[in-house]
Amino acid sequence: MCAAGHTGRADVAQLVERDLPKVDVASSSLVIRSTPGTSYGQDVPSLRTYDVPRPPPRLGAVEFQGFPVAALDFYDDLEVDNTKSFWEAHKHVYAESVRAPMTALCASLEPEFGKAKIFRPYRDVRFAKDKTPYKTHQGAYVGVGPATGWYVEISPRGLRTGAGFYEASGTRLAAFREAVAHDTFGPELEALVAELESAGFEVGGDTLKTQPRGFDAAHPRIGLLRHKALTLGRQHGFEPVIHTPEALDLVREDWRTLRPFVEWVQRHVRD
């Protein structure tokens, strides 16, 4: 973490992706989208014949055409065999079916929202109990402030969008709680969150188990006051639309819908 509570670029991915739903593949009810006739008792590199189109090189930016089925298949298999040998055998699938479409998507969103940081596919395992080397999703993030901005990802669970502030320590956390407790600013946030929840977004972010020091447990906005980070996200799953250019419209409209929430954070969660 950088001085004065600001978050370094290297930390952003950890903060944003920490808010993602965690899936235990061995015990979850996750629906694996395997192709007919395959079995996870086999060696995973032989599970699929990835049908990844390889178009001729084009000059200039490539237009976003959606995330191919091969992207979700790739992450399905990576969740089962998260090893260097699998990655090396299929890294061309990652490059062509995951990284390239995400880059094109972010390029299309950049004129309105700003330049995105596309996260690296490698996990930081230095202090982690889980030593699997690769992330089982691809995320991208447009920052508009310290640990604050818009997010999009593709994973075995499909397409997910979101926004918010993913960390606030010291003076920024104090500023957030002061704004939530304010007679005007607090109800504004409460109304924004309620409206977004009714539109299908889910509230996330680390929270305290009890009320923060100096606040009454009976405060009318105690639920918001407990947040140390506050995000809103929507899961689009693997509906057919995510494999088409219209997925760009889904992300753009979600980010536009989340803009008033992001702007509230920009105004109030400051050093």
CA distances from 136 to 80, 102, 179, 210, 216 (A): 10, 15, 36, 33, 41
φ, ψ of residue 128 to 5 degrees: the values are -100, 145
pLDDT at residue 168, as a whole number: 86
Q: Which residue spans within the chain are E strands per DSSP?
A: 117-118, 138-145, 148-155, 158-165, 202-204, 230-237
Point out the residues of the chain with pLDDT beneath 50. Answer: 1-6, 9-10, 22-47, 49, 54-59
For the question of whether the overall pTM of this predicted structure is more than 0.85, the answer is no
Q: Using alpha carbons only, what angle is made at residue 97 by residues 246 and 62, rounded to the nearest 5 degrees?
A: 60
pLDDT at residue 119, as a whole number: 97
Q: Which residue spans within 69-228 are E strands per DSSP?
A: 117-118, 138-145, 148-155, 158-165, 202-204
pLDDT at residue 76, as a whole number: 97
Instruction: Indicate the angle between helix axes 247-268 and 171-181, nearest 10 degrees.
Output: 90
160 neighbors 153 (Cβ within 8 angstroms):
yes
Q: Is the dihedral of CA 192, 194, 200, 204 positive or negative?
A: positive
172 neighbors 220 (Cβ within 8 angstroms):
no
pLDDT at residue 172, as a whole number: 96
Q: 251: part of which helix (H) or strand (E)?
A: helix 247-268
Residue showing tokens 């490059």: 95
pLDDT at residue 68, as a whole number: 97
In terms of residues, how long is the chain?
271
pLDDT at residue 6, as a whole number: 44
pLDDT at residue 14, as a whole number: 67
pLDDT at residue 28, as a whole number: 39
pLDDT at residue 57, as a whole number: 39
Q: What is the C-alpha separation between 92 and 130, in angstroms, rounded?
A: 25
